[in-house]
Structures are given as structure tokens and as C-alpha cells.
A and B are shown apart, each in its own frame.
Chain A
Amino acid sequence: MTNLLPLIRNECLKIIKKKRFYVILLILLVLVPMFTYAQMRIAERSRDKFNSDWRLEVQQQITDNQNSLGSDRIPEEWKSYRRIFVQQLQYYLDHDVNPNEPSGVTFTREFLDNSVSLFIPLLIMAVASDLVSGERTTGTIKMLLTRPVKRWKVLFSKMTALMMFVSLIVLSAFIISYLVSGLAFGYKGFNVPVFTGFQLSGDTVDMTTVHAVPQWKYLLMQGGLIWFVSVVVALLAFMVSVLVRSTAASIVVMMAALIAGTILTNMASAWTAAKYLFMVNMELTGYLAGTPAPIEGMTLAFSMAVLAIWGLAAVIISFAVFTKRDILN
């Protein structure tokens, strides 16, 4: 009975030796400074305009949004989104908390909120899409399977290694964006309060359950949710890489699914059955921030259940296919 640990270790070393993880770190190190710089320019401009008085700025933001509510040319869904946004801004203002207090921590929070549905999954795919199909492309899969090791063990060790790297990728996204943006905005801001617990019902926001959490705790919670999404994406990409022969095809399939997801979230409110698709449910962090879900009736529990079912199905399919399939060529 071969132990699983050496297998997992072997898979981990393979991922490291292939330098995929370094590529991911490099992408982060190149892109995060760009976003930081853009954010810095925005901050500079609003400082000029509002004399660095964030209260006036937020009040103006509220007024502008209220004005757009009056326009007949704006779709109803956007209006209800803005109505909710106005109420949240009002809440921040009423409690004298700057929702956009510029700091490295705030940048990290916002950056990750925006990257949960596309950017982080992309980084995950860089590792996951290659795990099985890569072995086929290079032909090393035969070597792997001719060893006296059960197939499910091979696949399980690959999956475990993948999970380890998912955690590492999520964590490094946080750390790199904090370290880089901190250069521009300062490294403070862990204790700034952030409000969470906005209960949305239709157009109105129920404020009774709103409470402030320190930003570090918010980041922790956000990280957990992003991790969950990433695990599901990793499992799906892994399944595709089992099913498809070439790495390129497996990346394309996953990319297409993810991009379809972002497009659907922007226009799916009429097609309610779309809420059972995994890619529409990826923005779990929105439930934390209180942004309205793309389709009515979606809640955190619902989205998590959908994601979990898709992830589970991916695991089952991966194992079923991998243990049965003939390896040709």
C-alpha cells in the first residue's frame, strides 16, 4: 500500500518545477502596481476637487446617484442598485465613517472584491488547467500510470496539491496587493471600521443588522469567501483538464465559462434560471459588502450551495473518467 504523502509531495514539486506559481506571482507583481497607480490618480483628483473632505465627496456622490434615479433612460435594475448604494453611503455618512479611507488595506479589500469573479480564477486556472492535460501533452502520463499506484491515488494527490496551491495563490494575492499598494497609500488601516450586514429586500436596505467590523476581520472573511470560490473554480478547471486532451483547450473552455459568467451577471436579471450556473454565483464577497445579487432571489446560502454542487460534480466526474478511461497515444 503506497502512502499518499510522497505522491502529493511529488505533485507539489512538479507544480513548483514547472514555475507556474512564479508566473502567477509575477503577474500579480506587474498588475497590482498598475491598479495602485490608477487608484492613486483617482484619489489625487478627488482630493483636489473636494479639498480632501471625504464627507462632501460622499454627499456629492449621493446627490449624483439620486439625480440619475430621476432619469427615465436608466434601466430599472440599475436604479434599484443605485438606490441601495445611496442608502449605504448615507449610512456611512451618518456614522461618520469614510467608506473609501485611502490605505493599503482598503485598496486590498476593493481590489479583491473586484477580482473574485475573473482575475483570481484566472490565476487558479494557470495551475489547475495544466495538471492532467499537461501530462498528456508531454506524454508523461503513461509513466505515471504504469507505476504500481492506483489511479485514484494519482488523481487524489494531484487534487490535494492543487488545493494547497489554491490557498497559496489566494494568500499571495492578498499579501502582494497589500505590500504594493502600501507603498502608495501607507500600511495602516487595519482597524478602520467597515460596515457589513446590509439586508437587501427589493429596493430598500434593512439597517437593523448592520454592524461594523474592523477591516482586518473583513479581509479575513473576504479571504475565506474568495478561497471557497477559488476551490470550486480549481475543481472545475481540474475536471476540464481531465476531460480535454490539451492544456490550451482546457484553458479556453474555462475562460469561456468565466467570461460568459461576467456577461451574464450584467444582463441575466430577466433570465432567472441562470442563477443555477456556477459562474453567476462567484461574487460571494458581494454578500459581505451588501451589493445586490445579479439575479433576484440569490442569497449567500443559495450561491454556496450552487457552487458546492458544481464542485462536487466536478470531483465525481474527474474521478469517474480518470479511473475508467483508456490512455491512448
Chain B
Amino acid sequence: MNDSKWTWRAVGLVSILATLLLITGFVYAVSDIINPKGETLLSSLPQETAAPTAAATDELKILALGDSLAKGTGDNSGQGFVKRTLEALSADGGKAELLGNMGINGLTTAGLQSKLQEEGVQYALRQANVILISIGGNDLFRGSDILGTGSSSGEAESSADTENPADGIAPLGTESAANNTVEGSAPVPTASTDELTPESLLSALPDASGRLGSILDTIAGINPQAQIYYVGLYNPFGDIADLLVPGNQAVTAWNNAAMDIINTHSNMTLVPTFDLFNRHLDKYLSNDHFHPNGDGYQRMSERIVQAVH
């Protein structure tokens, strides 16, 4: 009986204390949620201290940035040129690591510009010494929806294909909705193209290449030590007779504009891909007739490896 007396006292005391504690927490929580008080906040990222770590190592620290090509859309193995490049670079006995792949489906130059304002992206850029960029395809080919939805699922893409077997261009018109879902890819004024024409392809060029210039400047400003590799565009519509010539012209104009910008910086390289795909689209493009397939990405990565080494 004495035993149970002590049990009772202990349980009673502890449970009362516990209840009081929990009620206090409850009151705090309710008042905090119902009347939240904002406050001026703590520090920002330690920018100055973080920078030096990137320099002076033999190790390649790779960061990929840009659109669905950077992400690797269309590659059934999911690797894209980024992972393939990484593999090839580390296979040579060198040390290479991937800091991150910030590729986002449907990203345009405008979207990338606003992404570069984010602390997290800037931080990642400062840590890297090899920066791979793929951007511009969505600015140039906005009339085509494929990059916009950039659906990573093979099934969705192939089903779109069977509906439009003739032209290989996926349904038009849903593009702006899909693009708005990606944060920061603000709609760029386009001549709402029902069809890709030489004019529509070229109309976006001056603005977009201007943005590309400022993107590259910004990145070089954030990390002056890093080597920057810009992946040039190819013409995905070469297998459509009507689009072969205008597509080639537009892509070449873009690549030339990019080359002009890149030549003004000592630590930047343009990696051309136009010739890799021209006349071999059936071999190196995936089912969506826009993104490269695994083999296509493999060829792109070989180019990049040659440029890095």
C-alpha cells in the first residue's frame, strides 16, 4: 500500500507539471499563430568568407545551370550531359564532383536572370569552378510548346507524338500556362506564333541575346575564377523541310551572337553542338523531337570534356 501511495504521488505530480507545461506551450502556440509578429531578421549568407574555398584546388567542382538540356530531359537514363560530363571527367583519373544541377524545364533567359538574384544560386556559383550553362532554346523556340512543358515523362511525350505524327511539333498554345508555373520565367513578349517562321524565330533574338550577355556578366561577376562553358544551340527542326533553313539561320544567328559575347570574356568557352545534330536528328533526338536522347547527350558531353581539358 505504501508503494502505491508513492506511485500515486509521483504520477500525480509529474502529470500536473506536464499538463501545465503543455498548456503553456499551447497558449504560446495559439498566440503566435493567430497574431504572428514579424521581426527584422538575422544575417544573410556569409558571402565573403565563402568565396575562397572555390579557388586553388585541382578538383573540378561542376555546377550546371539553365534549361531542360541542362536538366537532361529526353535522356532515358536521366543523366543528361551534366552527369555524363562528370563521369567522363572523373574517369580520366581527375577529381570531379557535381555541386548541383540547377536546370529547370522551360527556363528562358529572363527566368535565369531572376534566378541569378537568388542567394542560394549565387552561393552555389561561388563554390564552383566549372560552370555549365545551357540557355536560350526556350527564347528562340517559344512557338513550339515542347520545351515549355518539358514534361520529363517519356510516356506523355510519346503519346503527344502519336497524335501529331506528321510534324512532330507538340500541341501549340498551352505554352504560356505551362511556362508561368516555373517560377521566374516571366513571359517574354512574343509574336504569338501558330507556326514557326524565320521572322518569329529571329524576333526574340536581339532581346534574348542581350539577356544572355547580362547573364554571363552576372555569373562572371559572382565567381570570377570559374571557367564558364556555354552550350550552343542546335536546330531541332531540321527534319521538317519547311523549317530546316529558317531554323538553321536562327540558330546560327543565336550562336554567333553568343560567340560575340563570349569572346569578350577570357574565362568563357562556347561549346558548339550545331554540327552534332545537323542531319542526324533521327539518331540523336529523343521521342519529343526536341531534346537530345541519351546518345545525343553523350556527344554533347564529349565536346564539353574536350573543352574542359
Q: Which residues of A contact B (CB under 8 A)?
A: 9, 12-13, 16, 50-51, 53, 55-56, 58-60, 62-63, 66-67, 69-73, 79, 83, 86, 90, 93-97, 163-165, 167-168, 170-171, 193, 196-197, 199, 208-213, 217, 219-228, 284, 287-288, 300-301, 304
Please tell me if the beta carbons of A66 and B182 are within 8 angstroms of each other in the complex.
yes
Kindly state the separation between the CA atoms of A210 and B103 in the bound complex, as whole angstroms. Answer: 29
Kindly state the separation between the CA atoms of A309 and B8 in the bound complex, as whole angstroms. Answer: 32
Q: Can you report 15 A-B residue pairs in the complex whose CB atoms are below 8 A from each other?
A: A55-B124, A63-B100, A66-B104, A66-B182, A69-B183, A70-B149, A71-B151, A168-B15, A196-B33, A196-B36, A209-B36, A210-B41, A220-B25, A222-B25, A288-B32
Kindly state the separation between the CA atoms of A316 and B102 in the bound complex, as whole angstroms. Answer: 57
Q: How many A-B residue pairs have CB under 8 A?
A: 194
Specify which chain B residues have a CB less than 8 angstroms from the CB of A228 in the assembled complex: 26
Please tell me if the beta carbons of B100 and A56 are within 8 angstroms of each other in the complex.
yes
Please tell me if the beta carbons of A72 and B178 are within 8 angstroms of each other in the complex.
yes
Please tell me if the beta carbons of B26 and A168 are within 8 angstroms of each other in the complex.
no
Please tell me if the beta carbons of A168 and B29 are within 8 angstroms of each other in the complex.
no
Please tell me if the beta carbons of A211 and B183 are within 8 angstroms of each other in the complex.
no
Please tell me if the beta carbons of A224 and B26 are within 8 angstroms of each other in the complex.
yes
Interface centre among B27, B120, B124, B153 (most CB of A within 10 A): B120
Kindly state the separation between the CA atoms of A272 and B134 in the bound complex, as whole angstroms. Answer: 44
Please tell me if the beta carbons of B33 and A94 are within 8 angstroms of each other in the complex.
no
Q: Of all chain A residues, which has the CB nearest B46?
A: A96
Find residues 1-59 in chain B having any chain A CB closer than 8 Å to their own CB.
4, 7-8, 11-12, 14-16, 18-19, 21-30, 32-34, 36-39, 41-46
Beyond A69-B182, A168-B18, A221-B32, is A60–B101 a contact (Cβ under 8 Å)? yes
Please tell me if the beta carbons of A62 and B22 are within 8 angstroms of each other in the complex.
no
Kindly state the separation between the CA atoms of A208 and B38 in the bound complex, as whole angstroms. Answer: 6
Q: Does B150 contact A (CB under 8 A)?
A: yes
Please tell me if the beta carbons of B103 and A63 are within 8 angstroms of each other in the complex.
yes
Specify which chain B residues have a CB less than 8 angstroms from the CB of A73 in the assembled complex: 151, 153, 156
Kindly state the separation between the CA atoms of A69 and B29 in the bound complex, as whole angstroms. Answer: 32
Additional pairs, 17, CB under 8 Å, beyond known A55-B123, A63-B102, A221-B26: A55-B120, A56-B99, A59-B121, A59-B123, A70-B105, A71-B152, A93-B118, A95-B42, A168-B15, A193-B42, A196-B33, A197-B37, A219-B25, A221-B28, A221-B29, A227-B23, A301-B34
Please tell me if the beta carbons of A95 and B41 are within 8 angstroms of each other in the complex.
yes
Beyond A96-B46, A227-B25, is A210–B38 a contact (Cβ under 8 Å)? yes
Kindly state the separation between the CA atoms of A53 and B149 in the bound complex, as whole angstroms. Answer: 31
Q: Does B97 contact A (CB under 8 A)?
A: yes
B52 to chain A minimum Cβ distance, whole angstroms, is: 15
- Of B7, B156, B181, the residue contacting A79 (CB under 8 A) is B181
Kindly state the separation between the CA atoms of A304 and B33 in the bound complex, as whole angstroms. Answer: 12
